[in-house]
Structure 1
Amino acid sequence: MAPTRKKAAVRAPATTQARLASLIKSARDTMRKDAGMNGDLDRLPQLSWLLFLKAFEERVEEEGEALNPEGYRRAIEKPYRWTDWATDPDLSGDELKTFVNVQLIPYLAGLDKNADRGAEDPRNVISLIFKDVVNRMQSGTLLRDLVDIVNKIHFVSHDDIHTMAFVYESILREMRDAAGDSGEFYTPRPVNRFMVQQSFLKLGESVLDPACGTGGFLVQAYEELKGQVKTETQQRQLHAGLRGIEKKPLPYLLASMNLLLHGVDAPRLRRENALLAMRNAQAAEKVDVVLTNPPFGGEEESTVVQAFPDAFQTQETAWLFLYSILDQLKLGGRCAIVLPNGSLSADGENSIGVKIKKKLMKDCNLHTVVRLPQGVFAPYTAIPSNILFFEKTGPTQDVWFYEVPLPEGRRGYTKTKPQRFEEYGDCVAWWGGEKREGREVGERAWMVPAARIIGQSFDLDIANPHVGDQLAHRTPEELVDELVKTETEILGLLEELRVGLEERK
């Protein structure tokens, strides 16, 4: 039986950042007591779907009714609205757990049934999210305690939303930390901010991340473009233009929540295999901009591989993403994509990698390769990576390379000392604006003609030619100082590793 009791209507105090941080800590402490919660990979999704429902109630449903009292139709109907069950202090224990498991989650998962509506309808988003949601809490009493804590978080003002988004980003960072243990790596914010900024986005353009994870690129694109919005029509245009694909349910939930908190009421996210989605896309689904950090080093299922032309079939995920993106871009479209050094290297004249790089340089102007400093994705992987910027405007003539150095005195990054966005400042100054005017060869920048790359079997793993010159002109004292700095940095990293190992005990 669904709950029918009178609900409490108690508002929490103003949600300051410190108060939100305290509430989130209380929520996680509560979940730690429950036997069904096994680490953050269980606790964070549990908290996220509850936060999603609370945010959706206040950010979408209540605002919609306020703006259109007569004509607004709620996506979630009685008795499944947050205010119908979550604010009822008497609904607890096994009764609450049964309601959530047997009625609420199945209802939300089935919201897309017999639906004849557009992709922007929020019921589609809710349904996709809750098809994979499981209430992992075994204690209905602890679940009641957790819901009561979430009830104290409010999203009714822009300040509240901004504050919650800030705190939620800390949850996402910890989610990334937990996911790193299971082999999933997310793009550091300075990297996606740099990629978005140097893509020079314009209002009205469609922006796709086909491996959107928790939505970092899409949120950054939204933040970049929202200042250009002047009308409600432009606002709707911006929301509709941000598109993501994610095949795993947990990142999909987190991305939906992330975009919702940043003001995108009905995120245009699809939960499916992006490679198949892009292969099956219609001409009308092509996009202006792709911003992505696709998975690399993995292997795809044979059914996915067989969806590609015979000459381009490979199980290497990064190659399949790059090939698909080339087809997904409109003529004149552009892309910024993270790829590992191994994808840039020459690997045999008739290899799939060479064929795809040949297609890239034939169809597109690969104008810039930014070589990222060692350890940007630390501590999860030490694989050296690069950002490729290209436009679908015709064949490549020259490729500019820019090497972003580590900060002075550093030999890598850690969880506690990650990369900062300011480290891209010199590269941004060198870039030359949207038209890339006035670029010059320098200590960190060099240009390679396309003919040379083609003649070397499309090898793009081209080292900075100025590094040798730098070493040749250094004094013995400078070299010794460098060795001392290196040893000090290594000792610091080892100490941090030791502390981390002790904390895991």
Structure 2
Amino acid sequence: MLQNSPELKSKIDQLWNKLWSGGISNPLTAIEQITYLLFMKRLDELDQKKQADAEFTGEKYTSKFEGRWIPPEYRAKVREGDTQGETDKKLADDKMYEIEKRSLRWSEFKHMQAEDMLQHVQGKVFPFLKDLNGAESNFTHHMKNAVFIIPKPALLVEAAKIIDEIFEVMERDSRVNGQAFQDIQGDVYEMLLSEIATAGKNGQFRTPRHIIKLMADLVQPQLGHKIADPACGSGGFLLGAYQYIVTQLAIKAGTINLVPDEDGFVRTSVAAALTEKSQAILTSSLWGYDIDATMVRLGLMNLMMHGIDEPHIDYKDTLSKSYTEESEYDIVMANPPFTGSIDKGDINENLQLGTLKPSC
């Protein structure tokens, strides 16, 4: 964890302070904006790595930044009854808004002048990020109302510079300490999310990692179990179950020198423990719900930061009448919110509550 990397923790604090002094003082908003920047950076780096791996192995790989991209609002909506002329005109209009995907890479736009960079990221890069997994994906659906609100060109330039420095430290720590880059990246995100614990806004208190580890040890989730958190927030319990299962698979695979961190989590490369089949099973086994749209996005991105490409986290009130699932899950891990109140008329009739307000 970051406690063992003072330099990395210092960089995270520096980034946080830059956004705070730049006018983004709400912790959830700041975390969202930082997360978007981390995604832009990581997307570029992962794509370049996959390209290099494909060239080495001879396997086919299509870069996410290959070709051109048209923002969804400008895409031609060709209808069945359109004449050929109408169709041709719509397709021709499309080309006016085509963007070279290569220009959307972090490594390309970070060299722009401050004003140009802000306009480029706001108007092109961020919309591309929201549309990344296709119109039908869960990620795209929940990113629909996301906004990029870093207001000042100089602030974006400074934030981008610090993020580059953070990645340099992560890569060095990965080489020197033999820790998987993905684990270090997850630690960085955990550090950001820890700010929620001090904020406590709208009931969003983050469960400490050692409590998550204890609960995972108690319930002992296994590969194939369907696991849910009905008030998942940033996805900590789902990640705890995920890391527990990965650790058990690593032990079965004969992985040695598994050293737990200060919270008890074993740091092991996912690639060392998961086959493609077991990764698919595990990804389809984790389900989370929350009634805060911001937390849904943070939960999705948190799991994606930890290597779960298509997480199942949705906006849903699991106490309401609209939630009708029964006996769907093998394990439920949750820490219900301890602030706020609920509408008595919307409570699911199958739930017997003595009070409408959470209490300790």
Query: Which TM bucket (shorter chain)?
Result: 0.5 to 0.7
The answer to whether residue 307 in structure 2 is matched with residue 286 in structure 1 is no
Counterpart residue number, 2:77 = none
Work out which of the residue numbers 9, 12, 16 in structure 2 matches 1:24: 12
How does 1:426-445 map onto structure 2 within 5 Å? Answer: none
SS in 2 for 1:243: strand
SS in 1 for 2:204: coil
Counterpart residue number, 1:268 = 312
Counterpart residue number, 2:161 = 148
For 2:189 and 2:290, how far apart are their aligned partners in 1? 20
CA RMSD after TM alignment: 3.5
Higher relative contact order (CA 8 A, sep 6+): 2
Q: Is the 8 A contact 1:17 1:167 kept in 2?
A: no
Deviations 1:205-229 (A, max 9, x none): 1111111111111111111110233
Work out which of the residue numbers 192, 195, 202 in structure 1 matches 2:212: 192
**What amino acid sits opposite 2:151 in the alignment?**
Q
**What amino acid sits opposite 1:97 in the alignment?**
L
TM-score normalized by the length of structure 1: 0.50
**Displacement of 1:147:** 1.5
Counterpart residue number, 2:240 = 220
How does 1:30-41 map onto structure 2 within 5 Å? Answer: 30-34=18-22, 36-41=23-28
**Displacement of 1:49:** 1.8
Deviations 1:209-255 (A, max 9, x none): 11111111111111111023353311221222122122323322332
Q: Is the 8 A contact 1:48 1:253 kept in 2?
A: no
For 2:64 and 2:328, how far apart are their aligned partners in 1? 29
For 1:28 and 1:293, how far apart are their aligned partners in 2? 27
Q: Is the 8 A contact 2:231 2:334 kept in 1?
A: yes
The answer to whether residue 66 in structure 2 is matched with residue 45 in structure 1 is no
Q: Is the 8 A contact 1:295 1:317 kept in 2?
A: no
Counterpart residue number, 1:447 = none
Query: Computing the radius of gyration over CA atoms, which structure comes out larger, 1 or 2?
Result: 1
**Alpha carbons of 1:292 and 1:89: their partners in 2 closer, same or farther (altered >3 Å)?**
closer
**Alpha carbons of 1:152 and 1:172: their partners in 2 closer, same or farther (altered >3 Å)?**
same
Work out which of the residue numbers 122, 125, 130 in structure 1 matches 2:143: 130
The answer to whether residue 248 in structure 2 is matched with residue 235 in structure 1 is no
**What amino acid sits opposite 1:262 in the alignment?**
H
The answer to whether residue 245 in structure 2 is matched with residue 258 in structure 1 is no
SS in 1 for 2:337: coil
Work out which of the residue numbers 87, 92, 100 in structure 1 matches 2:121: 100
For 2:195 and 2:103, how far apart are their aligned partners in 1? 27
| Higher helix proportion (structure 1 or 2) | 2
Deviations 1:57-106 (A, max 9, x none): 434x4455456565444556654578624543442333222222233333
How does 1:300-379 map onto structure 2 within 5 Å? Answer: 300-301=342-343, 304-305=346-347, 308-309=348-349, 312=351
SS in 1 for 2:180: helix
The answer to whether residue 248 in structure 2 is matched with residue 206 in structure 1 is no
Q: Is the 8 A contact 1:209 1:292 kept in 2?
A: yes
Q: Is the 8 A contact 1:20 1:164 kept in 2?
A: no
Query: Which deviates the most, 287-296 or 91-100?
Result: 91-100
For 1:198 and 1:213, how far apart are their aligned partners in 2? 21
Give unmatched runs, 5+ long, in structure 2: 69-99, 254-274
SS in 2 for 1:142: helix
**What amino acid sits opposite 1:290 in the alignment?**
V
Deviations 1:95-125 (A, max 9, x none): 222222233333333456654xxxxxxx542
Counterpart residue number, 2:184 = 163
SS in 1 for 2:33: helix
For 1:109 and 1:316, how far apart are their aligned partners in 2? 40
SS in 1 for 2:313: strand
For 1:297 and 1:251, how far apart are their aligned partners in 2? 15
Deviations 1:156-177 (A, max 9, x none): 7653332232333222212221
Give unmatched runs, 5+ long, in structure 1: 1-15, 116-122, 319-339, 341-382, 385-505
SS in 2 for 1:292: coil
Query: Which deviates the most, 86-95 or 213-222?
Result: 86-95
**What amino acid sits opposite 2:147 in the alignment?**
V
**Displacement of 1:290:** 0.8
**What amino acid sits opposite 1:172 in the alignment?**
L
Deviations 1:156-209 (A, max 9, x none): 76533322323332222122212x155432222232222211112111111111
Counterpart residue number, 2:79 = none
For 1:303 and 1:65, how far apart are their aligned partners in 2? 54
Of all paired residues, the percent bearing the same amino acid is 28
